[in-house]
Amino acid sequence: MQPFTFNTAPSLVFGSGAIARIGEIAARQLGPRIALVTDAGLVKAGLLEKALHALEEAGVAVDVFDGVVADPPEAVVLAAAAKAKAFDARAVIGFGGGSSIDVAKLVALLARSGESLPDIYGVGVAKGPRLPLLAVPTTAGTGSEVTPISIVTTGAHEKKGVVSPLIIPDIALLDPDLTLNLPPHVTAATGIDAMVHAIEAYTSTSANNNPVSKALAKEALHLLGRNIERAVHHGQDGEARAAMLIGSMLAGQAFANSPVAAVHALAYPIGGHFGVPHGLSNALVLPYVLRFNASACEQAYAELAPYAFQELEGRASADAFVEALASLCMKVGLQPRLRDVGIPQDALPMLAEDAMKQTRLLVNNPRSLTLNDARAIYEAAW
């Protein structure tokens, strides 16, 4: 058994309606002045109301920053951090999808440590300290509430990450009721993203791949694979929503400590150049990358198959797993091909070159992947 390190959020609070407890939790564990980071869409949809009411009841002063956008640029992070500092915030709450939680992580860091954002990109570069941090996910996908990763858009198309155990939230508050009204396409894309996190964590060649991540990945796939169709097609099903939220959190814990690989490396350029949401980008390349990897993952994919798909119990194989995933992407209504999301064929060589720059991810892939391989995968997915 190899040595490994496993880090995760020290406190998880889960339950239907758990958001009503945020005031009591904040007053006890975060203190009386809190910067809350979210996006305007959630405010408009009224999703924040119960949280703000509970915080007010508990006597906590809250300053809301609602300027988070998808693929948040540096300017948004800096504006949120400046607002938190001006408010003299003593703690931070991230409320929303992966983007809001990612921004909140950096606000907690920048508002306290005095570090400058361009200086802390990379793995283990940030020094801290940071403000106490609570994350409330409103999608079941990124797992950001338990990961040490925050992704920022730094140029027109470039993304950089701050990766450090320092930014793992102190508390993740998981209330599946907050996800009941997510539209089917968002439920599908974010759910597939979470499944990819579990699969790539399980097969990661990272030296820190470990038995805890593997166990979590299996249970994550069990919850996600067996509930995603129900959550997509029957959005108000609280049990399916709960399973998806726990599943995405478990997948987040898994890949936080056994990082993802080529599916993500090939998905990022699709998002960066064509604005395709992260989960859908993953789904578009998922079957093709897994078919490429299958020769190196015969056993691992066969092990995962029956967790994700009941129909594969007793007849699991790598091929059956990959084909079941491809068919699942169709069943939950995700576009099947790169051309369907407006990507021209002549853009594929450029996407392949960009994907090869994701060395942080490609080193974890179970089969080494060349520029020609990346091109062939994009061609197959087109």
Contact positions vs Fe ion (CB under 5 A): 193
Toward Fe ion, which CB reaches closer, 86 or 123? Answer: 123
Toward Fe ion, which CB reaches closer, 175 or 193? Answer: 193
Integer Cα distance of 267 and 270 in angstroms = 5
**Residue 134: DSSP 8-state:** E
In angstroms, what is the minimal distance from the CB of 193 to Fe ion?
Answer: 4
In angstroms, what is the minimal distance from the CB of 264 to Fe ion?
Answer: 6
Instruction: Please name which of 197, 181, 93, 107 lies closest in space to residue 145, comparing C-alpha atoms.
Output: 93
In angstroms, what is the minimal distance from the CB of 221 to Fe ion?
Answer: 15
Helix (H, G, I), strand (E, B) or coil at 30: coil
Say which residue the tokens 């350029």 belong to: 269
Toward Fe ion, which CB reaches closer, 71 or 193? Answer: 193
In angstroms, what is the minimal distance from the CB of 195 to Fe ion?
Answer: 10
Say which residue the tokens 């408009």 belong to: 44
The neighbouring-strand residues paired with 35 are 63, 92
In angstroms, what is the minimal distance from the CB of 308 to Fe ion?
Answer: 17
Backbone angles phi, psi at 253, to 5 degrees: -60, -40
Contacts of 119 (CB under 8 A, 6+ apart): 125
C-beta atoms surrounding 48 within 10 Å: 24
Backbone angles phi, psi at 36, to 5 degrees: -110, 125
Are 66 and 77 contacting, i.e. CB atoms less than 8 angstroms apart? no
Token code pair at residue 203: 């097969």
Toward Fe ion, which CB reaches closer, 91 or 254? Answer: 254
In angstroms, what is the minimal distance from the CB of 380 to Fe ion?
Answer: 21
Toward Fe ion, which CB reaches closer, 66 or 193? Answer: 193
In angstroms, what is the minimal distance from the CB of 212 to Fe ion?
Answer: 20
Are 169 and 101 contacting, i.e. CB atoms less than 8 angstroms apart? yes
Region label for 314, one of left (φ > 0), alpha (ψ between -120 and 50) or beta (otherwise): left
Toward Fe ion, which CB reaches closer, 54 or 99? Answer: 99
What one-character-per-residue DSSP string does 315-327 give?
A: S--HHHHHHHHHH
Instruction: Please name which of 186, 259, 183, 188 lies closest in space to residue 224, comparing C-alpha atoms.
Output: 188
* Pairing mode of beta strands 91-96, 149-153: unpaired
Report the residue closest to Fe ion, judged by CB.
193
Toward Fe ion, which CB reaches closer, 132 or 259? Answer: 259
Toward Fe ion, which CB reaches closer, 141 or 176? Answer: 141
